Structure 1
Amino acid sequence: MRFLLRPGWIALTLAVAAFAFACYYLLAPWQFHRGDERDSVNAALARGVATAPVPRSDLVAPGTAPPAEAAWRQVVVTGTYRPEGEVLVRLRSVDGHPAMEVMTPLTTTAGETVLVDRGYVRTDSAGTLPPIPPPPGGTVTVTGYQRLDEGAPSRPMVVDDGRRQVYAANAAAVSEAGGVPASPGYLQLLPDQPGVITAVPLPPPDPNPSYSYAWQWLIFGLMAVGAWIYFARLEYRRARGLDPRPRRDDQDPRDAADGTPWDARPTSTEQKLADRYGRR
């Protein structure tokens, strides 16, 4: 087994070990985790559509972030829109087209301010915004999907077309940009609700191929180790002179019965040429 100490074999062994480690302890677990997350989102979507709306206070304590199990639940709030704190969320895509979502704070009758996603508007080819209708005045009751905050944006607020705009549907970022503090999370309005522009459609269920990818990484890791063992065995047998004779099925039909290759037999130049071109 001294051949394993050669530089080439050491490098190959380290590469195979690193690849197998990555497959079994990094890539496959990450895909299994992603699969669990996607299953949770799919289950939350199905539950949210199938469950009747409830008061938001039944699921979320005032001023706190909504729990994961509240995601996509249909909730009802009553209050007054605060258009002075309205902010747009940039770089959205709806049905494959660029869009912006309109976030407007709403102060409930209990005194809590929550962020409401009133829907989306599409920009033209030049990025110009269409007119955005203001929310209705007075007290309204709205129903929407309870959403969790997206991650905090990495870019600061911008002002374009006279509108304050941020890069994530994140209550803290919107509150800072709009100047109206709001509780974590936000409501995504259903169609035909007071103040809705064009309701953001529900995402389709995720087909979730992550589990298949995880098993593929496990198989790739096993194949890498198996290939290393196979080639190490070949090298070992070659070094010991233990290469097996070829199976009869693998021999040329012109070989001798004892396995001697046909072109190793002493023969005349004429016979070699005849054998090579199939002539007798």
Structure 2
Amino acid sequence: MRFRFLLRPGWLALTLAVWVFAGACFALLAPWQFGRDAEREAQNDAISSSVDLDPAPVSEVLGRDNSAHEWREVELTGEYLADAEAVARLRTVQGEAAFEVLTPFRLADGPTVLVNRGYVRPVNGVRVPDYAAPPAGRVSVVALVRAGESDSGDAFTEDGHRQVRSINSAVVGRAAGLGDVRPGYFQLVEGQPGVVQGALPLPKLDAGPFFSYALQWIAFGVMALGGWLYFTWREAQPGGVLAEERPRRKTVQEMLAEDPVSG
């Protein structure tokens, strides 16, 4: 009978909240942070490897999914399609606002891909500045393989420039009336023909806080369960404040009603 208090509505609500929170820590939040840590480690390994390898022909990685070869340096030969260009808005480069310039690039052997020519800083914080057009004619460039972002809607025109909200080859190709533009995109490295104000910098090669965050979520789950077990054990002991009903103190009115003479 000591554990009858566990069936009280308040204690049931507390028990449900504690176990749901602990379950979320163990099954959702900690694995999510472990997954982000694994992604960061894979990204760092890919970037480090790309620095040590010579650029590969784009035909070796050109497929329907660039994510398997992300950050690999490749060489592309073909021509920029300047009329099909767009800029990606609401970007941040090295902590400051930027637009990224996206130009379709028709390879010499036929397929069209999307090339990120780098970034430009906005004018007055919001407007696309004037920037150099890509070189005309056939060029060879070295770029990093990048996985495309999700389709966030059609392109639109503002300040005389075609703009998109995500770096997605299908969105840019659709807006320019192009046919099949291969998924993903290619990010120019510094010094290549067509780089605008600056090439996008590589991500920092650090582990990030994700592993420690995962351990923190596990610790929070353990602490929640440990606290619940401690208070359950304490209240089940003789004299626990919730183990037995405590008599309710009478009000002054009730005491007067029972003993009107003394009142």
Structure 1 length as normaliser, TM-score? 0.80
The secondary structure found in structure 2 opposite 1:76 is strand
Does structure 2 conserve the Cα–Cα contact (< 8 Å) formed by 1:39 and 1:208?
A: no
Tell me the distance in 1 between the aligned counterparts of 2:215 and 2:132. 50
Q: Do structure 1's residue 81 and structure 2's residue 92 form an aligned pair?
A: no
Does structure 1 conserve the Cα–Cα contact (< 8 Å) formed by 2:103 and 2:117?
A: yes
Q: Which residue does 1:100 correspond to in 2?
A: 99
Q: How far has the Cα of 1:74 moved from its partner?
A: 0.5
Does structure 2 conserve the Cα–Cα contact (< 8 Å) formed by 1:105 and 1:180?
A: no
Does structure 1 conserve the Cα–Cα contact (< 8 Å) formed by 2:97 and 2:125?
A: no
Q: Which residue does 1:113 correspond to in 2?
A: 112
Tell me the distance in 1 between the aligned counterparts of 2:87 and 2:225. 52
Task: Give 2:44's match in structure 1, choosing from 42, 46, 55.
Answer: 42
Q: Which residue does 2:10 correspond to in 1?
A: 8
Q: How far has the Cα of 1:206 moved from its partner?
A: 4.2
Tell me the distance in 1 between the aligned counterparts of 2:125 and 2:218. 48
Task: Give the CA RMSD over aligned residues.
Answer: 1.7
Correspondence 1:1-280 to 2 at 5 A: 1-61=3-63, 64-66=64-66, 68-153=67-152, 155-181=153-179, 182-197=181-196, 198-239=198-239
Does structure 2 conserve the Cα–Cα contact (< 8 Å) formed by 1:82 and 1:104?
A: yes
Bigger RCO (CA 8 Å, 6+ sep): 2
Tell me the distance in 2 between the aligned counterparts of 1:240 and 1:127. 64
Q: How far has the Cα of 1:126 moved from its partner?
A: 4.9
Tell me the distance in 2 between the aligned counterparts of 1:34 and 1:203. 15
Structure 1: 4+ residue segments shifted above 3 A: 238-241
Indicate how the Cα distance of structure 1 residues 124 and 21 shifts in structure 2: closer, same or farther if over 3 A, else same: same
Tell me the distance in 2 between the aligned counterparts of 1:161 and 1:193. 27
Q: Deviations over 1:92-120 (max 9, x none)?
A: 11122211111111111101111111111
Q: Which residue type is aligned with residue 221 of structure 1?
A: G
Tell me the distance in 1 between the aligned counterparts of 2:172 and 2:5. 64
Q: Deviations over 1:123-182 (max 9, x none)?
A: 1225232222111111111111111101221x4322112110001111111111222231
Q: Which residue type is aligned with residue 147 of structure 1?
A: R
Unaligned runs of 5+ in 2: 242-263
Indicate how the Cα distance of structure 1 residues 57 and 15 shifts in structure 2: closer, same or farther if over 3 A, else same: same
Tell me the distance in 2 between the aligned counterparts of 1:96 and 1:203. 12
Tell me the distance in 1 between the aligned counterparts of 2:45 and 2:207. 12
Does structure 2 conserve the Cα–Cα contact (< 8 Å) formed by 1:166 and 1:177?
A: no
Q: How far has the Cα of 1:189 moved from its partner?
A: 0.7
Structure 2 length as normaliser, TM-score? 0.85
Does structure 1 conserve the Cα–Cα contact (< 8 Å) formed by 2:128 and 2:161?
A: no
Does structure 1 conserve the Cα–Cα contact (< 8 Å) formed by 2:78 and 2:138?
A: yes
Tell me the distance in 1 between the aligned counterparts of 2:116 and 2:86. 10
Tell me the distance in 2 between the aligned counterparts of 1:51 and 1:223. 47
Q: Percent identity?
A: 46
Q: Which residue type is aligned with residue 172 of structure 2?
A: V
Indicate how the Cα distance of structure 1 residues 238 and 113 shifts in structure 2: closer, same or farther if over 3 A, else same: same
Q: How far has the Cα of 1:240 moved from its partner?
A: 7.5
Tell me the distance in 1 between the aligned counterparts of 2:116 and 2:5. 66
Q: Deviations over 1:223-263 (max 9, x none)?
A: 1111111111111113479xxxxxxxxxxxxxxxxxxxxxx
Tell me the distance in 2 between the aligned counterparts of 1:221 and 1:22. 8
